[in-house]
Structure 1
Amino acid sequence: MSDVYDIAIVGAGLVGSTAAAALAEAVPSLKLIMLDAGPAPVALAKHKAAAGVDDFDPRVVALTRDSQTLLQSIGAWQRVAEKRLCPYSDMEVWDADGTARINFDSSEIQEPNLGHIVENKLLVSALAEQLATYSNVETWNGCTVNDVIEHEGQQTLVVNKKPLDEKANYKDPAQPLEVKTKLILACDGAQSPLRQIKNIATREWDYGHDAIVTTVETSKPHRGCARQRFISTGPLACLPLARDKAAQSNNEHYCSIVWSCLPERAEELMALDDDSFAKALGEALELELGEVKAVAKRFRIPLRQRHAKKYIQAGFALAGDAAHTIHPLAGQGVNLGLKDVAAFVEQIQYASNRAVPLNDYSILRRYQRQRIGDNLSMMATMEGFKRLFGSNDISVRWLRNEGVRSLNNVSMLKNKIVRQAMGL
């Protein structure tokens, strides 16, 4: 590898790893490096078979067709599909304060499914395995970036890299190193140390919700249907999960739960024992899936909207949660991040094909212009949904119930909405 990399990707999560693989695939001449603070992912084959609620990753993503296409183009989708993922063909949405219900059915738009639910850890492992096949990508784990120095169009990342012992555990002291690159893509999460180093301001506020995330087993099968119930204290999503592809039976009794609610309600739910929580959850789902038989460890996550005022500086760009975070009620966070990746790769290809410097500001401006409006639009839509379904005003409740009921009866409009959401 050269002493100066073309692009340094910071953050090896879903967005950063996808960016590294997509760049390596699109422009094989690039010299790339990916830096991450954590250890290398576990090999895909070493993840446990899903025999119970504790074997699933509590973090899941609902991937659209656009996201699937991108992951297929780099070979990662095929890898995770051989392990496990769950297509969903239907989506049921209903309001707790009324009788209105809307159903989205993939057969109505002549598609095999509406999307897929994939566990985060499996997809990260699949991406790591795919990245290992590229000779032009170098990956450093156990790295923290302490500073970025710009000089004459070149970026120098001041990095602490922890060495590994013979058991692949990190040991101190960390080794101070410098990584020189023409361009940095920061995919280092919602708290983004690089965004802070670069002094890029954000607009942010609390949603007033905490999300309780867990995996459950239900007495009734989910039958490939994603469910979302809007409760006055916040939306409750129930997403279908599948067992391993190699499993002898296709057990449809496992679901991922994302229960967004007011902090005081979240505190009450977290204080319950598993049996009491299972009973409360079953009631909140109106026993759509029967009794909740088992519950994995629960996690409570404060929800906050955040949007960087700009995505770029000279030789630097933000993507994914480093640039924007939104309410999880529609599961669009990762999909927006992968759309950032697609747009960034498109601009790098454009520059490479025309012999334009990769860090030319016009290239970065084109990326920002392509993504910032789309992300803001989705964030505004999610905020509107949250406020609409969070209102207890009787007139608002009546209007939203009538709206949902009417939309469910207008197939052409309903199907147009779902096709746009799928990226078709």
Structure 2
Amino acid sequence: MTQDNTTDLVIVGAGMVGLTLAALLAESGLRIRILESREVDAAQALSWEQSQRAEGYDPRVSALTVASQQVLTVAGVWSQIEQMRLMPYRAMDVWDGEGTGEIRFDCTELHEPCLGHIVENRVTQAALLQRVAGLAQCQLSVGVALTELSEPDADGLRTLTLSDGETLQSRCVVAADGALSNTRRLAGIGMWEWDYGHHAIVTTVTTEQANQATCWQRFTDDGPLAFLPLPDSHLSSIVWSTSPDHAKAVMELDDEGFCQALERAFEGRLGAVTHTDARYVFPLRQRHAQQYVKAGFAAIGDAAHTIHPLAGQGVNLGLMDAAALAETILDGLADGVNWHSDYHLRRFQRARQSENLQMAVTMEGFKRLFNAGGPLPRLLRNTGMTLMNRCSPVKNHIVQQAMGLAGPLPRLARRPVKE
């Protein structure tokens, strides 16, 4: 084994969460290798003007919180994202489609410029790729998969075998390769998981009326439907969570039929739905790793947990994982301790596992609450939403937590205190 085949940290997965971790560790002095199994065209991915803007909107978007914005600012990419394309949203309108309950959150009530930003996933990833490409200590290998992963040896090094035949050693391996993480499986970490009984349909649609810089969400017995505003005022990204049978029927409709069905499901809040881009559908499952860390190993983002998209918190949780793990590693380096040991990495697990589990339980509770039929559950839902909408202190506390302005956060996610 040559010195060139030894590195400090291997991050498996060049998605938003894995790349954010690499960017946050830019000043750490660690040698970092990033592995991505997909055949990413690096030149195309790094050129927003030529490859992204011309292709229209990515159907996959994220509602990034203030806390996530801060993490991406520290990672050195938020200004680049602003130069590309994003949509600040000023309000959220949530209502029960089977009753009269409705809650509206508005940034003016919190004296904030916005509640968050809708950002296409490929915009965030392109900015992160540009950042990582400029880091001398980072090496990105695309089209390469991890096939074998050893336990740590006496020196604390894990041996990795790659699909191209290369073998390397690393002090720490991070699984950031998504919900079906092969890296997590190779590390021998099991999952708790169950099916939500929902499929999610995502696409971009054009509406007769402007989106009003508002995130709209209608809850029905069959599942939530969200319209997320895009920079073009008559475009919205939608996430329609519904039963598998209904999703299948909706996907089989032609574009005109789909637009009509979507307009009815949304109660025409933005007038007629006049156009739809290509539609995509995927099943929704709840997953949670039984543990996040081992000696020389950590799992972050979807590799550690997935939740229902009804509150748009999935990517935000992953970015908080990246921030917390980066802090744990940086603190270990500063203190001169064995930063990749099981004992030290458990600081990251303690910081994030309970938070992620709490969010998963909350999302499951929301799903069950709005799936419950009958007059009594409907009355309780609508009464509760109406009362909450009238109680500004409670409502503002909830939205502050959702924005990442309150509650336990990694240091790198906390907004600087104004002098």
With the shorter chain as reference, the TM-score category is over 0.9
Question: 2 CA distance for matches of 1:416 and 1:128?
Answer: 35
C-alpha distance after superposition, 1:201-256 (max 9, x if no partner): 111000000001111011100010000000111000100011xxxxxxxx301100
Q: Are 2:34 and 1:34 equivalent residues in the alignment?
A: yes
* Corresponding residue SS for 1:81: helix
Q: For residue 418 of structure 1, what is the amino acid of its counterpart?
A: V
User: Which residue number corresponds to residue 218 of structure 1?
Assistant: 207
User: Which residue number corresponds to residue 19 of structure 1?
Assistant: 21
User: Which residue number corresponds to residue 417 of structure 2?
Assistant: none
User: Which residue number corresponds to residue 333 of structure 1?
Assistant: 314
Question: 2 CA distance for matches of 1:397 and 1:69?
Answer: 38
Question: How far is the alpha carbon of 1:179 from its aligned partner?
Answer: 2.0
User: Which residue number corresponds to residue 240 of structure 2?
Assistant: 259
User: Which residue number corresponds to residue 8 of structure 1?
Assistant: 10
C-alpha distance after superposition, 1:137-172 (max 9, x if no partner): 111111111000232210111002xxxxxxxxxxxx
Question: How far is the alpha carbon of 1:122 from its aligned partner?
Answer: 1.2
User: Which residue number corresponds to residue 362 of structure 2?
Assistant: 381
- Is the 8 Å Cα contact of residues 207 and 272 (structure 2) preserved in structure 1? yes
- Is the 8 Å Cα contact of residues 311 and 319 (structure 1) preserved in structure 2? yes
User: Which residue number corresponds to residue 409 of structure 2?
Assistant: none
User: Which residue number corresponds to residue 230 of structure 1?
Assistant: 219
Give 1:76-95 correspondences, 5 Å limit. 76-95=77-96
Q: For residue 61 of structure 2, what is the amino acid of its counterpart?
A: V
* Residue in structure 2 matching 1:177, options 151, 157, 166: 166
* Residue in structure 2 matching 1:46, options 47, 50, 56: 50
* Corresponding residue SS for 1:206: strand
User: Which residue number corresponds to residue 60 of structure 1?
Assistant: 61
- Is the 8 Å Cα contact of residues 24 and 32 (structure 1) preserved in structure 2? no
Q: For residue 135 of structure 1, what is the amino acid of its counterpart?
A: A
What is the alpha-carbon root mean square deviation over aligned residues? 1.2
- Is the 8 Å Cα contact of residues 2 and 31 (structure 1) preserved in structure 2? no
User: Which residue number corresponds to residue 392 of structure 2?
Assistant: 411
* Corresponding residue SS for 2:339: coil
User: Which residue number corresponds to residue 128 of structure 1?
Assistant: 129
Give 1:130-149 correspondences, 5 Å limit. 130-149=131-150
- What TM-score, normalized by structure 1, do the two folds share? 0.92
C-alpha distance after superposition, 1:250-297 (max 9, x if no partner): x30110000000111101100100001001111111111111111011
5+ residue gaps, structure 1, are 161-174, 243-250
Question: 1 CA distance for matches of 2:344 and 2:208?
Answer: 53
Question: 2 CA distance for matches of 1:21 and 1:365?
Answer: 22
Question: 1 CA distance for matches of 2:176 and 2:281?
Answer: 23
Question: 2 CA distance for matches of 1:231 and 1:222?
Answer: 21
Q: Are 2:158 and 1:155 equivalent residues in the alignment?
A: yes
Q: State the identity as a percent.
A: 46
Deviates more, 1:292-301 or 1:1-10: 1-10
Question: How far is the alpha carbon of 1:49 from its aligned partner?
Answer: 3.2
Question: How far is the alpha carbon of 1:42 from its aligned partner?
Answer: 4.5
- Is the 8 Å Cα contact of residues 210 and 303 (structure 1) preserved in structure 2? yes
Question: 2 CA distance for matches of 1:293 and 1:197?
Answer: 47
**Residue correspondences, number:** 397
5+ residue gaps, structure 2, are 406-419
Q: Are 2:299 and 1:297 equivalent residues in the alignment?
A: no
- Is the 8 Å Cα contact of residues 295 and 340 (structure 2) preserved in structure 1? yes
C-alpha distance after superposition, 1:90-122 (max 9, x if no partner): 000000110111000000000000000100111
* Residue in structure 1 matching 2:374, options 366, 369, 393: 393
- Is the 8 Å Cα contact of residues 182 and 358 (structure 1) preserved in structure 2? no
* Corresponding residue SS for 1:140: strand
- What TM-score, normalized by structure 2, do the two folds share? 0.93
Deviates more, 1:74-83 or 1:13-22: 74-83
Question: 1 CA distance for matches of 2:53 and 2:332?
Answer: 44
